[in-house]
Amino acid sequence: MLDSLDNICYNVNVSGNDHIGNEPEWSVIGSRRVTIREVAEQAGVSTQTVSRVLNHRPDVAPETRRRVQEIIDRLGYQASNIARSLVQGRSFTLGVVAWGLEYFGPSRALSGIEQGASELGYVLLLSLMRQPGNSDVGQLLRDMLARQVDGIVWAVPEIDSNRDWIREQHSRLPVPVVFLSMRPQPDLSIAAVDNRSGGRMATKHLLDVGYENVGLITGPLTWWEARQRQSGWQDALQEAGIATEDNLVVEGDWQAASGERGLHQLLEQRPDLDAVFISNDQMALGALQAARKLGVRVPEDLALVGFDDVPESVYFLPPLSTVRQDMVELGRCAVRELGGMIEATQQGEADVEPNTILLEPELIVRESSGFPKPKGQVVEEAGKKRDSTYGMRWLV
């Protein structure tokens, strides 16, 4: 059973996929069944023509298409996925294994998976794991395969060793799999955001506008994505000839409270801190709260850049500079890649070449990372003396 201690199974019907593939023989209106033959007879065309209209094929005359569509609408004809599956020998169902929907990235990725599935005419069989580890992966996969899925999107982020099962089980799976948010491997199909590039561009932005002591609040370092963002921060500092000292780094847990604690700790460790790259926007919100309580002005005393570009970040006070990662597009890309692998398998291709898709993030500059003043000015406030390198702010 998928409704086990470790995961919950949902059937998610994706809208907009009724007219893909060969069409079924009948549909139901109340207690009466309307067949595709009845539609064809009333429209004065063949059943093949009705199928072409339902599939939006271009080889149908406009007037014929209009007439057939009117009959379909009037009779309320609906396609049957079960009949379509019997005709084509496939289920048109994608298995999706997910975890962590309380986090911004995984939840947005799932939205993109749904959109991508809808575009390609698939329904989703969704299993939500309660823990991201390796327990019961074998049973989960067996249950997915028993439901005749055509392929699987593994949408659980790489955390600690939760990809260990791949070594033993991936090569034995009879259906293609696309993995989200994990380190690239040559024998796997993977879709991920280039988190390292995002961390580098956030830090480089702070350095480029003149900040020198750039701290980091990481996500939990068991997450591959958090380690990649830290690597990007290190890359930018090293390229600028700045040492990546341990007292510039505090580990968070993606939650706002850890951002608040993290900024307190960083300022205790490095009173000369003038900027912080914070590995997600939720922790950045906590850091803004800490700054306000400490009387540290953002960006006049301290510049901040987050990561994610959650919709609320533009309403933070001040509006948050951040790195935008398009997780919806990532989900769509994963489904498109999986769809191509499924089609290749259907065409008899024995070895489908794995592919790695890395989406480039985008830097969004707002008020929380202002332009610096000329170096050497001193600001004395609330009994504290700090070198100030801030002045004009960049408003977008």
**Inter-residue contact 219 to 253 (CB < 8 Å):** yes
The reply to whether 133 and 245 lie within a common domain is no
The reply to whether 94 and 221 lie within a common domain is no
One-letter identity of residue 328: V
Question: What residues pair up with 93 in beta bridges, in sequence order?
Answer: 123
The CA distance from 236 to 154, in Å, is 31
Query: Which tokens hold the place of 224?
Result: 């591959």
The CA distance from 122 to 145, in Å, is 16
The CA distance from 259 to 285, in Å, is 7
Tens digit of each residue's pLDDT, the chain (396 residues): 333 334 444 444 333 334 444 444 444 444 456 788 888 999 999 988 988 887 777 888 999 999 999 998 888 876 655 555 545 556 789 999 999 999 999 999 999 999 999 998 899 999 998 888 877 788 889 899 999 999 999 999 999 999 999 988 888 888 999 999 999 998 999 999 999 999 999 999 999 999 999 999 999 999 999 999 999 999 999 999 999 999 999 999 999 999 999 999 999 999 999 999 999 999 999 999 999 999 999 999 999 999 999 999 999 999 999 999 999 999 999 999 999 999 887 777 767 789 999 999 999 999 999 755 444 444 333 333 333 333 333 333
Q: What pLDDT sits at residue 73? A: 86
Domain membership flag for residue 232: yes
- Name the one residue in this structure whose structure tokens are 């069989």: 125
| Domain boundary residue, one of 86, 106, 125 | 86
Q: What pLDDT sits at residue 5? A: 34
Region label for 27, one of left (φ > 0), alpha (ψ between -120 and 50) or beta (otherwise) = beta
The reply to whether 211 and 320 lie within a common domain is yes
CATH number at residue 51: 1.10.260.40
The reply to whether 297 and 224 lie within a common domain is yes
CATH number at residue 221: 3.40.50.2300
- Residue 280 belongs to what domain range? 195-325+363-388
Q: What pLDDT sits at residue 382? A: 31
Query: Which tokens hold the place of 98?
Result: 């997910």
The reply to whether 117 and 208 lie within a common domain is no
pTM listed for this prediction:
0.75
Kindly report the number of other CB atoms within 10 A of residue 22's CB atom. Answer: 16
Domain membership flag for residue 395: no
Number of domains in the chain: 3
Domain membership flag for residue 1: no
The reply to whether 213 and 292 lie within a common domain is yes
Domain membership flag for residue 19: no
- Name the one residue in this structure whose structure tokens are 């701290």: 215
The CA distance from 214 to 343, in Å, is 48
The reply to whether 167 and 69 lie within a common domain is no
The reply to whether 65 and 117 lie within a common domain is no
* Cβ-defined contacts of 348-355 (< 8 Å, 24+): 352/176, 354/186, 354/187, 354/188, 354/189, 354/190, 355/189, 355/190
Domain membership flag for residue 355: yes
Q: What pLDDT sits at residue 84? A: 53
CB-neighbour burial class of residue 221 (10 A; exposed 0-12, middle 13-18, buried 19+) = middle
Q: Residues 6 or more apart from 255 whose CB is under 8 A from it?
A: 282, 283, 286
Kindly report the number of other CB atoms within 10 A of residue 61's CB atom. Answer: 10
The reply to whether 349 and 312 lie within a common domain is no
Torsion on CA atoms 188, 193, 196, 200, rounded to nearest 10: 160
CA distances to 68, 76, 79 from 36, rounded to whole Å, are 11, 11, 9
Question: What residues pair up with 126 in beta bridges, in sequence order?
Answer: 10, 96
**Listed residue (15, 1, 4) closest to 144, CA to CA:** 1
Q: For the segment 364-376, what is each residue's pLDDT rounded down to a tens digit?
A: 999 999 755 444 4
| Domain boundary residue, one of 58, 86, 114 | 86
Torsion on CA atoms 159, 163, 164, 167, rounded to nearest 10: -160
The reply to whether 373 and 251 lie within a common domain is yes
The reply to whether 101 and 229 lie within a common domain is no
**Inter-residue contact 310 to 328 (CB < 8 Å):** no
- Name the one residue in this structure whose structure tokens are 């995002």: 198
One-letter identity of residue 381: E
Domain membership flag for residue 396: no
The reply to whether 279 and 309 lie within a common domain is yes
**Inter-residue contact 45 to 59 (CB < 8 Å):** no
Q: What pLDDT sits at residue 89? A: 54
Query: Which tokens hold the place of 261?
Result: 């604690």
Domain membership flag for residue 393: no
The CA distance from 113 to 334, in Å, is 7
Domain membership flag for residue 206: yes
